[in-house]
């Protein structure tokens, strides 16, 4: 298997771990459990960012530059949703 696919799979796995740990944080029933999950969340988030940077720096992860009009449109849309 190519390095690119291994790293992209690792990044996807880390993203899922971060997402699931964030859910556990929101649902923690006491402060001690919250602190444990927070430490895990912090570590996994850092690892996900490192994997993202590695993939991005190797041109394995492409980002689309959004034009200002698109950003303004999305901002206006989200602002309107928050008001409702």
Q: Which of 17, 22, 14 is nearest to 47 (CA)?
A: 14
Mean pLDDT of the chain: 92
Name the more confident of 1 and 25: 25
Calpha distance 17→50 (Å, rounded): 14
Mean of pLDDT values over 28-34: 95
0.75 exceeded by pTM: no
pLDDT of res. 1: 65
pLDDT of res. 29: 92
Task: Provide the residue ranges of all domains of the chain, joining segments of one domain with +.
Answer: 3-83
Q: What is the pLDDT of residues 49-62, one digit of tens each?
A: 999 999 999 999 88
Calpha distance 41→54 (Å, rounded): 20
């Amino acid at each position: 298997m190519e390095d690119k696919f291994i790293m992209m799979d690792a990044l996807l796995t880390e993203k899922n771990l971060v997402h699931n740990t964030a859910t556990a944080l929101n649902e923690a029933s006491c402060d001690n459990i919250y602190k444990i999950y927070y430490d895990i969340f912090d570590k996994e988030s850092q690892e996900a960012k490192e994997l993202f940077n590695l993939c991005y720096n190797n041109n394995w992860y492409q980002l689309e530059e959004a034009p200002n009009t698109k950003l303004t449109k999305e901002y206006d849309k989200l602002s309107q949703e928050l008001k409702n």
